[in-house]
Structure 1
Amino acid sequence: MEAGTQIVDQFQNAIQRANSDVSDLDTSLKNFGPIAREETILQRQKRETEVFISKVNDLDNMLDDLESRYDSMKADSYVTPSGGLKAQLDQLRNQQEKLRDKSEERLQEVQTIYGTLEGVTDNLRRMRTCINRASDELEMQEPIGTDVNAIKRLQDELKMLPGDAAADDNSHMLLQFVPGDAADDDDIHPAAAVGAWRWCC
């Protein structure tokens, strides 16, 4: 009988240690900060959550061992179902499952936000590349300046755009400031140059 009492006492001590471990994990989960919106922090939170889930899963072996020991004590009539030890074991299992569910849910949320943020970052990177290319191409364009031939070429290009009437009206704006037949000369009147420059810009 004394041996049975010692076995039960050892089992109760093991239950207390298991309760302490579960309580520590529960506190750790509650101390996790809110999910970030920055890639570096999200990567760290992902690793932390994965480590936490590993610790929760490690409880399986401990709880399996406790349940096996309980069954042995029950078979030897050292304990009875009404003694409360089985209820404590069941409670530990329930707490473990709650910790597992919450931590896996957090990991899923971290991964989802990280994937979304990564996609946005990639889109911004591609957009920045397109803008830089467009800027480079714009810088390569020759200025119209006061060259009447360049302005006439622009007139022809405008006429090729959809909406012939509108393009034709706009193209004539380039030369509307030229007095008389100056449009046929090599030099454009200063007023025409200013008007053309303002229209293009």
Structure 2
Amino acid sequence: MHFTMTDIPGVVLVDLQKFEDERGFFSRGWCAREFAEHGLPDQVVQMNISYNRRKHTLRGFHYQLPPYGEDKLLRCIRGGIFDVLIDLRRDSPTYRRHLTVELSASNQRMLVIPKGCANAFLTMQDETEATYLVSEFYTPAAERGLRWDDPSFAVEWPVTAPAVISAKDRNWPDFIG
């Protein structure tokens, strides 16, 4: 795996190291030892799958409060997503900054999302599927979110409004902090 650090501490792009031949390729998509060597979360307790029927479906922004914060490794395995994460860690030098990245089945890139960052994505194709390896069990009482179009973050989405969004995600409050 190839690890590329971003401007936001702990947020890392992970590209597959492919061993190719006439059959296709082989690659590791996860290695606890290699993640630990790069100072990244090395424990996984759950794998989540997000299947989305329609292009421009929006999910998020989601995060969990301590002590139930989740480190995530996100990969799009079918279709494509426009992913946005927001650093909500008050002690971070990039507090309140956001990062956007395109993840797709074709670029096979993964994204490490550390605890304390809110995450959302917009599907860019019909029939899009993403997987998350997660470091903490989902705890409903610790779940929080931000409205996708909260003006305090000025995210430039590729569309003016999502085609599909849940009532819960549409009604998250604006950020206060």
TM-score class normalised by the smaller sequence: under 0.3
Q: Which has the higher contact order (CA 8 A, sep 6+)?
A: 2
Greater helix content: 1
Greater strand content: 2
TM superposition score normalised by structure 2: 0.18
TM superposition score normalised by structure 1: 0.16
